[in-house]
Amino acid sequence: MAELRLERVTKKYDSEVYGAHDITFDIKDKEFTVLVGPSGCGKTTTLRLIAGLEACDSGKIFIDGSCVNDVSPKDRDVAMVFQNYALYPHMSAYDNMAFGLRMRRYPKKEINERVNEAAQILGISELLQRKPRQLSGGQRQRVAVGRAIVRQPKVFLFDEPLSNLDAKLRVQMRAELSRLHRRFEATIVYVTHDQVEAMTLGEKIIVINEARVQQVADPTSLYQRPKNRFVAGFIGSPPMNFIAGAIKKRQGKITFHSADVNIGLNKRTEHCTNREVILGIRPTDFFHTRGSKINIVVDVVEPMGNEFYIHGRCGTTMLSARLPDEMQTTIGSVVTLAIDPKKIYIFDAKTEENLI
């Protein structure tokens, strides 16, 4: 059993910068949770607070229902894989992995079994006698993951553990981590700034920006029902397009107006009438035959193989869109796209909350 709860946790650094601002979330036993957000938003700080390496200024952290604010890091039964691996440079990979167990006085035989098993899972059995400096960045990262696995802790905290791997190994390790999670039935808090990694790994995703929680949801809900403009723009690639304007209703017709576009909307946006808003549309949601047409002058074409993306402008509004492969286009040409009113998002211009 390992449930984790953060209750209004705040940590301010000397420089008046918040590392965590009123952070509240619950993580269930055996849940794979991903903390995601841009660089500097407070992901590492949040993990360090859970591990006990930083003290909260206010708020409480609970593991299995007990408040651990005053429990020392070594007694929290939490293993953290650091962003920069933090391996002992003078020790072999084997000794690095065995270190925590030796400190806890595990029998030699069990240490050996656990280290070898973890090494096999991670594909580093051949490298166990090497020192960190004799390993590549990716191999070091796997040793650091192994060091956490062998401890079989209540909670794993992973701080961007795949950031130094090449693209292929990253995908492979991602699948491996999912398998490890099922096998050890561990509670995992995994940090990344990569929204694709968050979407593929997380059962639950916590989006953080500027030290505050923006939304907690499963990947599908996060994509389909982002709570605000930040989440909408952060989740999904290429990012959602945003157009500032206002919604008006004339003779029963609801429309969105900006300097460059007029888009017919449907009933579900009626309550936003006479409001300054931001209209959002994902690049993948254009090119439905239904809806208001807009013209885009193409200035970048990105072929992806089975489809391609264009970036261009409609007046002064910059837009990105996915086009089907058969629709050939070149830089400088004009592409007509349709906006289906069912596919759009509306955010309040001031609060940036999702209004529909």
Ligand X SMILES: Nc1ncnc2c1ncn2[C@@H]1O[C@H](COP(=O)(O)OP(=O)(O)OP(=O)(O)O)[C@@H](O)[C@H]1O
Q: Which 3 state secondary structure label does DSSP give 34? A: strand
Q: Choose which of 2, 6, 27, 44 interacts with Mg ion (CB under 5 A).
A: 44
By three-state DSSP, how is residue 18 classified?
A: strand
Q: What does the alpha-carbon distance between residue 37 and residue 131 come to, in Å, rounded to a whole number?
A: 33
Question: Buried b / exposed e across 246-263, counting CB within 10 Å, b at 16+?
Answer: bbeeeeeebbbebeebeb
Whole-number Å distance between alpha carbons of 349 and 318? 18
Least Cβ distance, residue 70 to ligand X (angstroms): 21
- H or E stretch at 285: none
Judged by CB under 6 A, does residue 76 bind ligand X? Answer: no
Using CB under 6 A as the binding rule, the residues of this chain from 161 to 190 that contact ligand X are none
Question: Are the beta carbons of 42 and 50 closer than 8 angstroms?
Answer: no
> Which residues are bridge partners to 249 per DSSP?
254
* Residue 206 engages ligand X in binding (rule: CB under 6 A): no
220 binds ligand X (CB under 6 A): no
Residue 16 in contact with ligand X, rule: CB under 6 A: no
Residue 39 binding ligand X, by CB under 6 A: yes
Q: Please state, as a whole number, how many other Cβ atoms lie within 10 Å of the Cβ of residue 329.
A: 15
Among 3, 10, 40, 309, binds ligand X (CB under 6 A): 40
Q: From CA 284, how far away is CA 265, in angstroms rounded?
A: 19
187 binds Mg ion (CB under 5 A): no
CB nearer to ligand X: pick between 19 and 291: 19
Q: Given the complex with ligand X, which of 46 and 317 has the nearer CB atom?
A: 46
Among 2, 9, 34, 45, binds ligand X (CB under 6 A): 45
- The residue nearest Mg ion at its CB is 44
Angle between helices 93-103 and 108-122 (to 10 degrees): 140
CB of 331 to ligand X, least distance (A): 34
Is residue 139 involved in binding Mg ion (CB under 5 A)?
no
Binding window for Mg ion (CB under 5 A); candidates: 40-48, 145-153, 302-310, 341-349? 40-48
Which are the contacts of 289, defined by CB distance < 8 A and separation ≥ 6? 338
Binding status of residue 13 toward ligand X by CB under 6 A: yes
Q: Least Å distance between CB 19 and Mg ion?
A: 10
Crossing angle, helix 108-122 and helix 167-184, to 10 degrees? 140
Q: Which stretch binds Mg ion (CB under 5 A): 37-45, 266-274, 283-291, 335-343?
A: 37-45
DSSP-assigned states of every residue in 239-271: PPEEEEEEEEEETTEEEEE-SS-EEE--GGGGG
Q: Which is nearer to ligand X, 37 or 153 (CB)?
A: 37
Subset of 11-30 contacting Mg ion (CB under 5 A): none
Contacting residues toward ligand X, per CB under 6 A: 13, 15, 17, 19, 37, 39-45, 83, 193
Contacting residues toward Mg ion, per CB under 5 A: 44
